[in-house]
Chains A and B, each alone.
Chain A
Amino acid sequence: MSIIFNHVSKSYDADTQLKTDALKDVSFKIDDGEFVGLIGHTGSGKSTLVQHMNGLLKPTSGEIYVDGKDIADKEYSLKDLRGKVGLVFQYPEHQLFETTVFEDVCYGPKNLGLEKKEVELRAYEALKQVGIEDDYFYQSPFDLSGGQKRRAAIAGVLAMKPEVLILDEPTAGLDPKGREEILELVSRLHRENNITVILVSHSMDDVADYADRILVMDHGKLVYDDTVHEVFKHVKELEEMGLAIPQVTYMMYDIAAKGVDVSTDITTIDEAVEEIMKVWSK
C-alpha cells in the first residue's frame, strides 16, 4: 500500500487560544514494502502524523491518499482502512481494555467481521509471535508488567494482519532482548510478508539498524526525508532538534577527531567493526 501526504496541516483546538499547529504543510510518499523510521523531538508531531495514516485524525488542510484514493472521500471506508493500516499506539494501556489478554487481542479481528474460530486462531498466533506465554492469556491485561502490556497491544494489531504496520515507539519500556525480539519480528514481517513498516522511535540505534529511510519531524515540519546514512550526516542539526546520531557514529567522529583517517559514514555496529578493523590492521 502506498501512502501519500499532500500538504497536510493539522491544528488542535483550532478556534481557541490553545491552538497548536501539530503538523505544518507535510508532504511525502511512502511506497509499498518500505521500512521507514520516523524520528523527532517529543511534541514534534510524530504521533499526530501517524494517526492520520489510518484516519483516526483528519487533516485541517491537505489530502491523504492511500493506494491512490483520497481517504477523506465520502465513499471511502475508514473501517476497511483501519483493517489494512494497523497502528500500535504510543501507550499500550490505551488499547487494552477487555477482561482478559486473549479477549483483548481478539477485539481487532472480531471487528473485522471474521468468524470466531478464525478470530481466536489469529489471536493465538499473534500472542505467540510477540512472545506472551499461555499462562498469561486469561489474566487481566492490567495485571501485566509494562513490557508485557506492550506485547499484548502489538499482538492486538498483528491479529488484524495489516498491510501497513505503524508502531508508535513500540520498544519504549521493553527490556533490551524484548526490544530486539519485537524489532526482529517486525523486520521478519516486513521481509517475508512484504508489510510496509513505519517505526516511530527515540532510539537512533534502532532506527539505524532497521529502517531504510528516515523521516525527521521538527516542530510540526518534515525537515528531512532521506536514507539512514544521509540523515545521520546532519549531526549538528539533529542535536539542535533534540535528537542525536547512533552512539557508534559518534564513536567514529571521536576517532576521526584524533586525526585517524576513518569513515564517519557508519551507522551500525557491524559497519563500525569492519571499518575499525580495516584501519587498525593496516
Chain B
Amino acid sequence: MSLIRSKALSFEYIRRDEEGNVEGITRAVDNVSLDVQQGDFVAILGHNGSGKSTLAKHINAILHPTEGTVWVDGMDTSDENNLWQVRQTAGMVFQNPDNQIIGQVVEEDVGFGPENLGVPTPEIWQRVEESLKAVGMSEYRNHSPNKLSGGQKQRVSIAGVIAMHPKCIILDEPTAMLDPSGRKEVIRAARALNDVEKITVILITHYMEEVIYAGKVLVMDKGHIKMQGSPREIFSRVEELKELRLAVPQVTLLAHELKKRGLPIPDGILTTYELTEALMKIKRTEG
C-alpha cells in the first residue's frame, strides 16, 4: 500500500521585503511525483540546496505544496483537519537537533511526544527506555539536553521521534554530526525500525555509505528527481553522480579505480566484502 504519495508537487519559497513586496522566488521542489510503499526504506541524495529538506517537510505537513498534492496514508496534507494525524503518522528528525529539543532532562524530552499523544504514563516510560537504548543514550537519561555535545543531542531527537511509534520516520541528515560509532548505531537503529517494526524509513544523507542498505535511492537535482534505482544501480553510475555533486562510497570508488587500471571487477561494488571477493576471484582464476 502506498504510504506516501505526491503528484506533480512543486514548492516555491517567496521572499518579501518589509512592505510585503515580492523580492524573489525560489522553486525548491519542481514537479516531483513520489510513491513510497508502507515498509519501504528510501534514501534521498542530492547536492546542497537540491530540495531534499523542502520535499521532506511536505511529508509531515510543515510545508504545503504550491502546486500538486501530497498524501500521507491517504490523507491530503493540505487539509488542516489532517494535520495532527499526518504528523503522528510521519515523524521527522531535522538536520539541526537544537531546534527540536525542548525538555529540561533527556528522558523528559523523549517522553514529550508520546505524552502529547495521550499515551498512558507507564507506557511512556517504557517507550522512553526503548528509544534511548536504540540510540545508545540510556546513560544520559537524566542529563540536561542543552549540555550535550552535538552528536549526543541528535541521538536524543531521534529517540524522541521513535517514541511516538510513527508509521514513517523521515531522517533529514540524522548522522551529520555523529562520530563513526554514533552513525553506525543510528543507521542500525533505522534499519531495525524498518526490518522489525516495518516502519517506513526515509533517509536523507550526504554519506554515501549509509545509502547501501536502502531498498531504493532517489537522487535530487535542482528540485527534480534526477535518478532512481537500487543502491547498486545508482552507485554504478560513478561519473554521473560526480556531475550531480555526489560521490560513491570509498570502496566503490576504489573498485572503480582498480577497474580503470585493468582489473576485471564488476560495477556497483558496495562493501569491502564484495570487493575482497571480486579480488580473490581474480587471484583464483589467475593462479
Give the B-binding residues of A (Cβ under 8 A): 12-13, 18, 20, 40-43, 47, 90-91, 93, 139-140, 143-148, 169, 172-179, 202, 204-205, 239, 242-244, 246-248, 250-251, 254-255, 258, 260, 269, 272-273, 276-277, 280
Q: A18-B144, A175-B46 are in contact. Are A47 and B180 (CB under 8 A)?
A: no
CA distance A276 to B48 in the complex (A): 34
Q: Is B148 an interface residue (CB 8 A)?
A: yes
Q: Are B181 and A242 in contact (CB under 8 A)?
A: yes
A196 to chain B, nearest CB (A): 24
24 contacts between A and B (CB under 8 A): A42-B179, A42-B182, A43-B149, A43-B152, A91-B150, A93-B98, A140-B15, A147-B47, A169-B177, A175-B48, A175-B50, A175-B206, A176-B206, A177-B245, A177-B246, A202-B180, A246-B250, A248-B251, A251-B275, A255-B276, A269-B253, A269-B257, A276-B263, A280-B283
Q: Are B250 and A173 in contact (CB under 8 A)?
A: no
Given A18-B147, A145-B48, A178-B245, 11 further pairs, Cβ under 8 A: A41-B151, A146-B53, A146-B96, A169-B177, A173-B95, A175-B46, A205-B250, A244-B181, A247-B250, A251-B275, A280-B282
Q: Are A42 and B151 in contact (CB under 8 A)?
A: yes
Contacts of B280 in A (CB 8 A): 258, 260
Q: A146-B95, A176-B208, A251-B275 are in contact. Are A202 and B257 (CB under 8 A)?
A: no
CA distance A42 to B175 in the complex (A): 11
What residue of chain B has the Cβ atom nearest to residue A255's Cβ?
Answer: B276
CA distance A177 to B95 in the complex (A): 19
Q: Are A242 and B254 in contact (CB under 8 A)?
A: no
Q: Is B199 an interface residue (CB 8 A)?
A: no
Contacts of A93 in B (CB 8 A): 96, 98
Q: Are A174 and B254 in contact (CB under 8 A)?
A: no
Q: Are A174 and B147 in contact (CB under 8 A)?
A: no
CA distance A276 to B148 in the complex (A): 43
B245 to chain A, nearest CB (A): 4
CA distance A176 to B47 in the complex (A): 8
A51 to chain B, nearest CB (A): 12
Q: A280-B279, A280-B283 are in contact. Are A248 and B48 (CB under 8 A)?
A: no
Contacts of B75 in A (CB 8 A): none
Q: Are A277 and B15 in contact (CB under 8 A)?
A: no
Contacts of A251 in B (CB 8 A): 251, 254, 272, 275-276
Q: Is B218 an interface residue (CB 8 A)?
A: no
B92 to chain A, nearest CB (A): 15
Q: Are A242 and B275 in contact (CB under 8 A)?
A: no
A281 to chain B, nearest CB (A): 8
Q: Are B181 and A41 in contact (CB under 8 A)?
A: yes
B111 to chain A, nearest CB (A): 21
Q: Are A175 and B246 in contact (CB under 8 A)?
A: yes
CA distance A173 to B174 in the complex (A): 10
- Between A20, A40, A43, A91, the greatest number of chain B beta carbons within 10 A of the residue's beta carbon is seen for A43
A14 to chain B, nearest CB (A): 13
- Between A12, A20, A91, A177, the greatest number of chain B beta carbons within 10 A of the residue's beta carbon is seen for A177
Q: Are B279 and A173 in contact (CB under 8 A)?
A: no
Q: Is B128 an interface residue (CB 8 A)?
A: no
What residue of chain B has the Cβ atom nearest to residue A177's Cβ?
Answer: B245
Q: Are A90 and B254 in contact (CB under 8 A)?
A: no
What residue of chain A has the Cβ atom nearest to residue B242's Cβ?
Answer: A177
Q: Are A242 and B182 in contact (CB under 8 A)?
A: yes
Contacts of B95 in A (CB 8 A): 146, 173
Q: Is B84 an interface residue (CB 8 A)?
A: no
Q: Are A248 and B178 in contact (CB under 8 A)?
A: no
Contacts of B208 in A (CB 8 A): 176
CA distance A206 to B218 in the complex (A): 25
CA distance A246 to B272 in the complex (A): 11
What residue of chain A has the Cβ atom nearest to residue B177's Cβ?
Answer: A172
Q: Are B272 and A148 in contact (CB under 8 A)?
A: no
Q: Is B247 an interface residue (CB 8 A)?
A: yes
| Contact pick for A146, options B173, B249, B253, CB 8 Å | B173
A149 to chain B, nearest CB (A): 9
Q: A47-B149, A244-B180, A247-B250 are in contact. Are A148 and B98 (CB under 8 A)?
A: no
Contacts of A255 in B (CB 8 A): 276, 279
B56 to chain A, nearest CB (A): 12
Q: Are B273 and A254 in contact (CB under 8 A)?
A: yes
Q: Are B276 and A173 in contact (CB under 8 A)?
A: no
B136 to chain A, nearest CB (A): 9
| Contact pick for B258, options A13, A139, A144, A273, CB 8 Å | A273
Contacts of B98 in A (CB 8 A): 91, 93
Q: Are B49 and A176 in contact (CB under 8 A)?
A: no
Q: A175-B47, A243-B181 are in contact. Are A277 and B206 (CB under 8 A)?
A: no
Contacts of A269 in B (CB 8 A): 250, 253-254, 257
